A and B are shown apart, each in its own frame.
Chain A
């Protein structure tokens, strides 16, 4: 991929679009596997097509409901690879529908490129801190090193209703 990324807001919108696309395609595969198999030159593999439909629907729901769509987009990329492998098997000379498999393979390649472009655009930019990590390490809020502040508020009396129940206190300790 080139260094050029889709703008984050567009990438988020694209991820949502891909989610709906997943659900649409998944429903078609699940509800009409014979038609989809015929259209892609995969006759005889209707059960496989229907199982791919379940995968597409699950991925689509994940994309539409998660705050971070990236893991689901990677799931789509993996699914694309599976689809490509299946369609490539359909290109064998013995398959009478190999032309349709070829067209479907090109279409999946296009969608895979879109999935990949989208997920790469959603990669977080290198984290930028407003101050060096060492500065956070200096932010104790305490006037002296923590070890010296241990127990500095021991004058505080824990109210009776906040005290550990007597039966749970150390045997022979304070309860004694």
Chain B
């Protein structure tokens, strides 16, 4: 089969590789009908996440048709249409029983490595480093799904792939980001980053009833799409985020702040980002936490910071004393996709939202390597890329 494989920093290729096979009775093989490039794939592309190996198959936003199931998978059969959540989970461990699927205790097959690095393991993820299991990803023609009896979202026929595909990650990720804020009717929610997760966080905050949603970015088409979702926008290349947020909140600051940017904050926009970039260059820091610093500064005391943006390692000059004194609540983590997916599928079926609005590019798998660069550099008005194997 053909698959997009990582061969080093900024080197993704469409290669021919052996088809996956059932390796465990709880496995399934799916024939991929659509997959997408996620913003977090760009952290691998740019070499910011440790634990990738030459030849790893990329991708964790995938859907398709069940091709084959293992002997212990009784709730799926050949021909079923499924979206595959990016987190692999067993459904049986202590964490899964609490609904904390992204920290499943059993699905990371490199548990001992993750235990050493993180203290305790997190779940296995598709196509996302050997720290999270080294599982081949879904930017391919076929995908092996471990723990397939739990790691799937069965979806009906008759709804296009484009509308359902993002149940795999970015829609529930934006949703969880807003849910983590426990939004109240009087809340102002400020969202940094208007990429795909930011767009879903904007709409989720609106649907959950935020009085005012404010979105921060500098890319015109992303800001335009944020406005379409009901947000007041701040272009950080043209105005001060802190001043504007204070102006919009009568000097009090937003109650809830969401970081949809993560470790690769724009490197030359602010002095602290340039400082971070210089420290990254000499390997004294792994992430650029400009957005975190700004959120901690501008958030209303006793407010909440929700962090769906991916961070990879060590952060410097994070004003934790400020956060402590302001009594801020931090909520973060990878998304427990299946905790939200049934509810979100119902909302899609009821027409409350059509997630396909975010797609700007749809190409074949072989064009995937080029689209990584287009997406990373925000060229050609690119916001979301869907690949069809």
Q: Verify that A and B bind, or say they do not.
A: yes
Interface residues of A (CB under 8 A from B): 61-62, 65-68, 71, 127-131, 133-134, 136-143, 146-147, 149-154, 156, 158-159, 161-165, 168, 170
Closest B residue to A164 using CB positions: B182
Given contacts A130-B381, A152-B207, contact A66 B267 (CB under 8 A): yes
Task: Name 25 A/B residue pairs within 8 A (Cβ), A-sorted.
Answer: A65-B281, A66-B267, A67-B46, A129-B380, A129-B381, A131-B360, A133-B220, A136-B381, A137-B228, A138-B228, A140-B230, A141-B203, A141-B229, A141-B357, A141-B358, A142-B229, A142-B354, A146-B229, A153-B209, A153-B352, A154-B208, A156-B343, A158-B179, A159-B339, A170-B184
Given contacts A65-B281, A139-B357, A164-B182, contact A150 B229 (CB under 8 A): no
Interface residues of B (CB under 8 A from A): 46, 98-99, 179-180, 182, 184-185, 199, 203-204, 206-210, 220-222, 224-225, 227-230, 267-268, 277, 281-282, 302, 304, 327, 329, 331, 339, 343, 347, 351-358, 360-361, 379-381
Is the pair B225, A136 in contact by a Cβ cutoff of 8 Å? yes
Total contacts A to B, CB within 8 angstroms?
A: 119
Given contacts A136-B228, A156-B343, contact A131 B357 (CB under 8 A): no
Is the pair A156, B208 in contact by a Cβ cutoff of 8 Å? yes
Is the pair A153, B221 in contact by a Cβ cutoff of 8 Å? no
Bound complex: CA of A13 vs CA of B231, how far in Å?
A: 42
Given contacts A149-B206, A165-B329, contact A140 B228 (CB under 8 A): yes
Bound complex: CA of A156 vs CA of B282, how far in Å?
A: 47
Is the pair A129, B277 in contact by a Cβ cutoff of 8 Å? no
CB contact between A143 and one of B221, B351, B380 (< 8 Å): that residue? B351
CB contact between B203 and one of A67, A142, A168 (< 8 Å): that residue? A142
Q: State the 6 A-B residue pairs at the shortest beta-carbon distance, nearest first.
A: A146-B230, A141-B357, A151-B209, A129-B381, A136-B224, A153-B207
Bound complex: CA of A152 vs CA of B230, how far in Å?
A: 13
Which residues of chain A are near B304, meaning CB under 8 Å? 164
Residues of A contacting B: mostly: loop
Which residues of chain A are near B230, meaning CB under 8 Å? 140, 142, 146-147, 149-150
Bound complex: CA of A154 vs CA of B187, how far in Å?
A: 14
Closest A residue to B211 using CB positions: A150
Is the pair B329, A146 in contact by a Cβ cutoff of 8 Å? no
